[in-house]
Amino acid sequence: MNESLEKPDNILEKSDKKYFQVDIMKTLMIFLVILDHSTTHGFLLQFWSPLWERIAIPGFIVIMGFNLGISFNEKGITTLKEAYSKDYFISKMKRYIIPYLFLYFIHGIIYLLVNYVFHPEILGVGSYDNRGFLYLGFTLFWGPGMWFIPVLFGSILVFPLLYFCFKEYPILTFIFCFLIEWIMHILASTILFGIIEFNWFMMVVFFKTHILYFLSGIGLGLWISKDPEIFSKRNIIIWILMPISLIYLIAYSIYGLGGLRGMLHQYYLSWIGGDYHFLTFPYTAFLFLIVLKIFPKNPDNKISKIIKIISKSTYHILLIQILYFSFAYHFWFTIADGFDLHPIDYLWYYPLSLLITITGGIIWQTLETKFYEVKINENKIYRIIYKILLSLAVIFYIFFLFSRYMCFLPFPLP
């Protein structure tokens, strides 16, 4: 995902730098994301979803940390100036910002048509109707999974510095990844439930859409990147953390989020909530180590090629599913009730959702790749279009960075 610094310790040789196991994980995780948005959390919870379905985002977070450690090593970068280079930021604008601009534009058109031209009946999406989300980088027409976009955007600034710290002080950085995440969670929980007597919603969302809110998962991925062998002495720490994580997820499956938070409140741990934090990431990191162990590194067959194509397109699939489900949640079924309570109906609805979103994401990514690799090299007009898109991406990203704090103007601190 990112650039690199030095030859990694105890990992694949450069000729084997591509991990097919990562492709498998990314493919499985995007399938689970689509499943998560096809139904409600309550529906899946009866099937103990925290142990198998809610690992999607933790899986992506751990993979982000793993790819950070691997890819920064491979480039041979030795200074922060080289890491925060013009090429680095251009690559991120092309990878993340420009595709999101297209979604932003499409959602803007939909918003104008719905509200000022056709006036159809629209289903509410709860707290996501809050206009304050625009300051955090959300589009005008909300779709599920959009909260992860500002997390990705924030990683652009944080990752090079994080890796340099990990390179020089791996153990200390690993510990601080957990400490920083704890601080973020405690602050968010304090604002929402603690010493402040009223809920200040946008401030909490500000924390929950920040890359630092998930930093322990990034740290676990970084740690694995130094030695992905599940039985190595280095990974004893993950063997120690995994049972604790597993116990938490089992309790979550039994008692639900509300019941579990009530139990934790008795021990002054009510700031621990949900399933994206230091008590859930180790379980997913352990599963990732298993995948790294049991699957081949570089298979060459039709199935592996399909998996690699899907893996390469996961970001575009995420954007397509945001667009697809933004229609579903606004015009078809409510965010609270979901599509249906009858499992049998998901035998056709979930495959349909997969077909639409996976196909759409692959087509989008393929066209984009062709545009960058062929069109802008052959045609002057395409090169001009590219420069315009890149300029808009830079402007949008700068605005995004500032707007996250500008949201405190219309929504002042308590």
Residue 52 CA: distances (Å) to CA of 283, 341, 363 = 10, 19, 28
Please name the residues in contact with 386: beta carbons below 8 A apart, sequence gap of 6 or more.
371, 372, 376
Please give the angle made by the CA atoms of 187, 191 and 196, to the nearest 5 degrees: 130
Neighbours of 179 (CB within 10 A): 12
How remote is the C-alpha of 27 from its chain's centroid? 13
Distance CA 194, CA 414 (A): 13
Neighbours of 392 (CB within 10 A): 15
Q: Which helix (H) or strand (E) holds 183?
A: helix 170-193
Distance CA 219, CA 182 (A): 13
Whether the CB-CB separation of 155 and 61 falls below 8 Å is answered with: no
How would you write the pLDDT of the chain (414 residues) with one tens digit per residue? 333 333 333 333 333 457 899 999 999 999 999 999 998 888 888 899 999 999 999 999 999 999 999 988 888 777 888 889 999 999 999 999 999 999 999 999 999 999 999 989 999 898 888 888 998 999 999 999 999 999 999 999 999 999 999 999 999 999 999 999 999 998 888 877 655 545 567 788 889 999 999 999 999 999 999 999 999 999 999 999 999 999 999 999 998 877 887 777 777 777 887 789 999 999 999 999 999 999 998 898 999 999 999 999 999 999 999 999 999 999 998 887 887 777 788 889 999 999 999 999 999 999 999 999 888 888 899 999 999 999 999 999 999 999 887 776 666 555
User: Domain ranges in the chain?
Assistant: 14-406
Q: Is the pTM of this model over 0.85?
A: yes
Whether the CB-CB separation of 43 and 258 falls below 8 Å is answered with: no
Distance CA 161, CA 177 (A): 12
Q: Nearest Cα to 354, choosing from 323, 326, 327, 317? A: 317
Residue 275 CA: distances (Å) to CA of 8, 59, 95 = 31, 12, 27
Distance CA 80, CA 45 (A): 44
Distance CA 249, CA 255 (A): 10
Please name the residues in contact with 42: beta carbons below 8 A apart, sequence gap of 6 or more.
none
Structure token pair of residue 175:
């510990």
Residue 212 CA: distances (Å) to CA of 91, 162, 166, 229, 345 = 22, 11, 15, 27, 38
Whether the CB-CB separation of 159 and 68 falls below 8 Å is answered with: yes
